[in-house]
Amino acid sequence: MILIALLLAAAPAPTAEARALAKAITPVQRYQGMLEQLYRPLLASAQQRERDSARLEQIARQVRDAAAKALPYDDLLEWTAQVYGAHFSAGELKQLLKFYESPLGRKYLDLQPQVNNELFANVLQVFPQRFEAAMKDAQPPKP
């Protein structure tokens, strides 16, 4: 984590193009979804421990507020702009922004979480068994 902070601190300030792209690919709704993915396990754990619905709602509010404080939207946008700005030229950033602001680009962004979930579900169905078999194949023969 410290290394990431040092790399980001050493990165040049993002350009306007990089900031515009960051905002286009990370709208507030996507940011809120990211936060939810981060704190969902904490809420699930609280639901198992707490039966009082009023107390559970209070805990959920505290968790949501703490997550937003720990990862502010503006910080995420700035980091996104720095990373994209480091890998793409101003012209490329403009082209990416044009795509993501197009109907197809917006559809891609809207469907990306669903597509990723579907792909990950497929991976989870086959990976454990295939990994176990691959590990057995990788073991040296017994003498």
CA 118 vs CA 48, 92, 98, 111: distances in Å: 27, 30, 27, 11
Q: What confidence tens digit (pLDDT) does each residue in 57-75 have?
A: 898 899 889 999 999 999 9
The answer to whether residues 46 and 63 touch, using CB atoms and an 8 Å cutoff, is yes
Question: pLDDT digits over 80-136, tens only?
Answer: 999 999 999 999 999 999 999 999 999 999 999 899 989 999 999 999 999 999 998
pLDDT band of 2, cuts 50, 70, 90:
low
Closest CA to 84 of 26, 29, 5, 3: 26
Contact by Cβ (8 Å): 73, 28: yes
